[in-house]
């Protein structure tokens, strides 16, 4: 099977046998009208559905998820799909599941950061209410919107869910459909990054980020691999 030349070679210990790993294919949801408008859409409400364009992007992401074992030969085919409960993520997951012939399982703790009173606002509108507030949330890691979550709180929630998933077994590949903060928190967990650095990952809509876990090790295979 020919490896995509954009994919790097594995350099880790041979004791980390790929066929024994838990591989998580992290898929960011497709665009919504709020995505296009630059409005925050947090985890405290179901949120908007995908746009027609977003549904088309999700269909292309499904093709890429199917090709994961071809592009990354050290992975198994996706056997199960987990999703955030928010509308845009669940809709993306169902499009992927429909293509692969797999059902989806909703995991509440995979939801986006809760933005509290900032929900539905743009960063500029947030700064009109709280000058510098959005930048503090994004860069400090411990600042939260009124009634919302900081990156640190989001990272603890997501990390606990990832720990539950790893506790359910290795030697399998799962697609995990969710949000920018969820993917950033998972990558940060694998790389040992503090919450004030999570915002440095740029995660495009319907991109794939892939991580592998063993009982005593973890690796990042790719970040924000484009599917469109």
C-beta of residue 76 within 8 angstroms of C-beta of residue 66: no
| DSSP H or E segment with residue 100 | helix 87-100
Over the stretch 41-61, which tens digit does the pLDDT of each residue have? 999 999 999 999 999 999 999
pLDDT at 16: 74
Strand partners, 42: none
Over the stretch 99-134, which tens digit does the pLDDT of each residue have? 999 999 999 999 999 999 999 999 999 999 999 999
- Tell whether the model's pLDDT for residue 17 goes beyond 70: yes
In a domain, 159, yes or no: yes
pLDDT at 10: 60
Among 187, 169, 215, smallest CA distance to 17 is for 215
| 178-195 mean pLDDT | 96
In a domain, 40, yes or no: yes
- Work out how many domains the chain is built from and give that number: 1
pLDDT at 7: 52
What is the total residue count of the chain?
228
pLDDT at 74: 85
Domain that holds residue 209: 18-225
**Distance (Å, whole) CA 216 – CA 198:** 23
Question: How sure is the predictor about 98, in pLDDT bands with cuts at 50, 70 and 90?
Answer: very high
In a domain, 43, yes or no: yes
Structure token digits, residue 133 = 């507030």
């Amino acid at each position: 099977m020919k490896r995509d030349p954009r994919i790097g070679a594995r350099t880790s210990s041979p004791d980390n046998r790929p066929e024994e790993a838990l591989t998580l294919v992290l898929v960011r949801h497709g665009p919504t009208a709020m995505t296009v408008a630059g409005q925050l859409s947090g985890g405290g409400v179901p949120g908007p559905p995908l746009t027609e364009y977003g549904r088309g992007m999700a269909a292309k992401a499904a093709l890429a998820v199917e090709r994961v074992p071809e592009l990354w030969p050290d992975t198994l085919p996706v056997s199960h799909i987990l999703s955030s409960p928010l509308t845009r993520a669940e809709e993306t997951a169902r499009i992927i599941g429909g293509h692969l012939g797999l059902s989806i399982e909703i995991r509440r703790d995979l939801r986006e950061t809760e933005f509290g009173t900032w929900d539905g606002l743009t960063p500029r509108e947030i700064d009109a209410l709280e000058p510098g507030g959005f930048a503090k949330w994004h860069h400090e890691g411990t600042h939260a919107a009124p009634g919302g979550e900081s990156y640190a709180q989001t990272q603890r929630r997501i990390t606990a869910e990832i720990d539950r998933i790893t506790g359910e077994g290795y030697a399998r590949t799962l697609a995990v459909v969710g949000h920018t903060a969820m993917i950033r928190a998972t990558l940060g967990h694998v790389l040992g990054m503090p919450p004030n650095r999570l915002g440095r990952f740029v995660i495009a809509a319907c991109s794939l980020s892939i991580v592998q876990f063993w009982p005593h090790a973890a690796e990042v295979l790719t970040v924000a691999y484009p599917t469109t």
